């Protein structure tokens, strides 16, 4: 009985506040509220409905990628190629459609296969070589950047693709990836739906499926996961392919919103995804975080990037704000977690 009593003494009842403090998203939610209040005062037009739709749109473009990147980071890995992979996906779709067929859907399908193959390559190389994902995906990042420019110039003769707006299937593809509706004076874009759906699916996977348990385990203790029979290699490759799938969605959105794709785009976006995930409570070392947090992180990004414009400040300051936000969020997360685990 001695152990049972000793254990009992250590167990304090868990209050609602402590449960709340234990959530990974808490820091991000507090941060988002602070940013919202700040810009509400600093920029008079910030609270208008049309501003909100713009903020949601830019949040969604980052959030669609931040969501799988958050899952990947919970699984303990990085993907530095995520930004240019979006461009690659759009380029493959545009150029294949233009050169090979008359129907854009063929290009869209080929692009999906190619992008998933890139994700598989990242995961396969990582699990095979056991090199840090930083190195592997930095290599993929550089290779894709070069391929994007090289192939586009080779095939199109310029740094951007030719327009595919007059091709068969364009309007239906546009409806899926880049449509928008007017609700009163507000324009809502379809990426917001993609974003919310992805976050919902990712949260479901993370918290209520075996795969989710494996993601946490692979990131929080790969050796323990392997010893208990978790398919570590498959989980890691799956996470990279998840990033690729979302890169495909983002890429198709870019293609069908603008008809053409600039081959040099996407560089640097991978850090925005990582920042959104980290602000949302993901640990850099893996094993902790949430998909909802990444959405809040992306929302903070949307508010900050647009809030500076609405406040009529020089947008040059944006990067400074983003960096400060990242630092503050990380510190807040560390503090909250320490408090939550203290007792």
Partner 1 sequence: MTKSVSPTPYEKSSAPALVQMTDVSKFYGNIRALQGVSLEVHAGEITCVLGDNGAGKSTLIKIIAGLHRHDAGRFEIEGEETVLANPRAALDHGIATVYQDLAVVPLMPVWRNFFLGSEPTKGRGPFRRLDVDFMRETTRAELLRMGIDLRDVDQPIGTLSGGERQCVAIARAVYFGAKVLVLDEPTAALGVKQSGVVLKYVAAARDAGLGVVLITHNPHHAYLVGDRFVLLKRGTMAGSHTRDSITLDELTRQMAGGSELDELSHELERVAESGPEHPSGAADPASGTTAL
Residues that bind partner 1 (CB under 8 A): 1-4, 7-8, 11, 13-14, 204, 208-210, 212-214, 216-217, 220-221, 223-230, 287-288, 341
Residue 142 vs 201, nearer CB to partner 1: 201
Minimum CB separation of residue 61 from partner 1 in Å reads 27
Minimum CB separation of residue 238 from partner 1 in Å reads 16
Residue 11 vs 154, nearer CB to partner 1: 11
Minimum CB separation of residue 291 from partner 1 in Å reads 16
Minimum CB separation of residue 204 from partner 1 in Å reads 8
Minimum CB separation of residue 209 from partner 1 in Å reads 6
Residue 16 vs 227, nearer CB to partner 1: 227
- SS3 for the chain, per residue? CHHHHHHHHHCCCCCHHHHHHCCCCHHHHHHHHHHHHHHHHHCHHHHCHHHHHHHHHHHHHHHHHHHHHHHHHHCCCCCCCHHHHHHHHHHHHHHHHHHHCCEHHHHHHHHHHHHHHHHHHHHHHHHHHCCCHHHHHHHHHHHHHHHHHHHHHHHHCCCECCCCCCCECHHHHHHHHHCEEEECCEEEEHHHHHHHHHHHHHHHHHHHCHHHHHHHHHHHCHHHHHHCCCCHHHHHHHHHHHHHHHHHHHHHHHHHHHCCCECCCCCCHHHHHHHHHHHCCCCCCCCCCCHHHHHHHHHHHHHHHHHHHHCCCCHHHHHHHHHHHHHHHHHHHHHHHHHHHHC
Residue 13 vs 268, nearer CB to partner 1: 13
Residue 103 vs 213, nearer CB to partner 1: 213
């Amino acid at each position: 009985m001695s152990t049972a009593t000793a254990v009992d003494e250590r167990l304090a009842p868990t209050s609602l506040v402590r449960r709340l403090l234990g959530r990974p998203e808490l820091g991000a939610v507090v941060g988002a509220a602070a940013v919202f209040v700040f810009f509400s005062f600093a920029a008079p037009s910030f609270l208008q409905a049309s501003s909100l739709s713009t903020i949601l749109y830019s949040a969604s473009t980052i959030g669609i990628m931040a969501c799988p990147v958050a899952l990947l980071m919970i699984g303990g890995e990085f993907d530095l190629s995520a930004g240019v992979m979006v461009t690659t996906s759009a380029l493959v779709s545009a150029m294949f459609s233009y050169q090979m067929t008359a129907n854009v859907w063929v290009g869209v399908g080929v692009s999906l296969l190619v992008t998933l193959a890139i994700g598989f390559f990242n995961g396969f190389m990582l699990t095979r070589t056991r090199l840090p994902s930083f190195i592997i995906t930095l290599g993929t990042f550089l290779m894709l950047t070069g391929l994007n420019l090289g192939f586009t110039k080779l095939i199109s003769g310029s740094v951007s693709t030719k327009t595919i707006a007059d091709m068969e299937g364009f309007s239906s593809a546009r409806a899926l990836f880049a449509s928008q509706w007017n609700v009163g004076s507000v324009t809502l874009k379809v990426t917001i739906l993609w974003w919310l759906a992805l976050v919902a699916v990712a949260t479901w996977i993370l918290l209520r499926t075996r795969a989710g348990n494996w993601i946490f385990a692979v990131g929080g203790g790969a050796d323990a996961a392997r010893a208990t029979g978790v398919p570590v290699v498959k989980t890691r490759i799956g996470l990279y392919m998840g990033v690729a799938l979302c890169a495909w969605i983002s890429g198709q959105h870019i293609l069908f919103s603008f008809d053409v794709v600039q081959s040099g785009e996407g560089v640097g976006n991978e850090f925005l995804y990582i920042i959104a995930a980290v602000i949302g409570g993901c640990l850099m070392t893996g094993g902790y975080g949430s998909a909802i947090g990444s959405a809040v992180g992306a929302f903070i990004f949307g508010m900050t990037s647009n809030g500076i414009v609405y406040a009529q400040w020089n947008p040059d300051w944006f990067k400074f704000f983003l960096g400060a936000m990242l630092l503050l969020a990380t510190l807040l997360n560390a503090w909250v977690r320490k408090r939550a685990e203290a007792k």
